[in-house]
């Protein structure tokens, strides 16, 4: 048996500003930093000996992990960063105010872009100043790899091979793993782990800075799941 914790980063500056963020590298707000520290306190109280931590290439997830590990007195744990744990790419919506976008395109259309499983937003132009192809951290990735828009389905197609190839084998060997990432990359993992139907995964919300503790059996299937901060818990995925 092993433990897997999925931790969504604390509130970010663009969460607060109600803007589509995606692959744009924004930082945590003071509230987000406090949420990250609180997540570390909650994890420390669980007395789980983690063996490895994973995070994305985005500052808000990386700093959330740092704050959590500091509160746990586990800053020495090995950390692996990978773009495949990045947030979903919001394409041409990136950087836009969500309320203004609803006024322009209609609430129903924006809801489809945000919550449908397999319909992505319009593509981002490659010459857009916010395009990740301009970011040094992705310099080794070509346009055949870098997304310019994603649905949750294509986010899962990016995240899942990495999880199955790099993380799942460690869990199978009995290691305990902490993943600090993003709302949609973690929802993609939840869909896989709990075999959530396409039409149901859109109902899963992951609160910022609230660790989701998943106990895995010998077959790597969940046998127990809970949010550590019950006051901010959301609906849990069903164990099948």
Strand partners, 80: 54
Q: What is the DSSP string of 143-178?
A: TTTS-S---HHHHHHHHHHHIIIIIHHHHHTT--EE
Q: Is 87 a catalytic residue?
A: yes
Structure tokens at 172: 């199978």
The tokens of 36 are what?
């990250």
**Strand order, beta sheet including 222-227:** 79-81, 52-55, 177-181, 2-8, 212-216, 222-227
Instruction: Report the alpha-carbon distance of residue 81 to residue 18 in Å, rounded.
Output: 26
- 144 burial (CB, 10 Å; 0-12 / 13-18 / 19+) is exposed
The DSSP code for 107 is H
Q: Which of 71, 87, 150, 168 is catalytic?
A: 87
* Other Cβ atoms closer than 10 A to 240: 8
Note if 105 is an active site residue: no
Backbone angles phi, psi at 166, to 5 degrees: -110, -35
Write out the catalytic residue numbers: 9, 87
């Amino acid at each position: 048996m092993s433990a897997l914790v999925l931790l969504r980063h604390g509130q970010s500056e663009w969460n607060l500003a109600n803007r589509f963020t995606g692959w744009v590298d924004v930082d945590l707000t003071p509230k987000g930093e406090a949420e990250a520290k609180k997540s570390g306190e909650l994890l420390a109280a669980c007395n789980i000996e983690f063996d490895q931590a994973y995070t994305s290439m985005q500052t808000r997830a990386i700093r959330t992990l740092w704050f959590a590990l500091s509160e746990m007195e586990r800053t020495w744990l090995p950390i692996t960063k990978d773009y495949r744990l990045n947030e979903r790419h919001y394409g041409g919506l990136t950087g836009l105010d969500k309320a203004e976008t609803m006024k322009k395109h209609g609430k129903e259309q924006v809801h489809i872009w945000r919550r449908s499983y397999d319909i992505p937003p319009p593509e981002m132009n490659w010459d857009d100043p916010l395009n990740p192809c301009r970011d040094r951290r992705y310099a080794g990735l070509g346009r055949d790899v870098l997304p310019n828009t994603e649905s949750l389905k294509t986010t899962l197609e990016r995240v899942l091979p990495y999880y199955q190839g790099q993380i799942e084998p460690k869990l199978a060997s009995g290691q305990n793993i902490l993943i600090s990432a993003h709302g949609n990359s973690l929802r993609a993992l939840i869909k896989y782990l709990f075999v959530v139907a396409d039409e149901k995964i859109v109902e899963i919300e992951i609160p910022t800075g609230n660790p989701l503790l998943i106990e895995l059996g010998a077959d790597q299937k969940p046998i127990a799941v809970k949010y550590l901060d019950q006051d901010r818990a959301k609906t849990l995925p069903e164990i099948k």
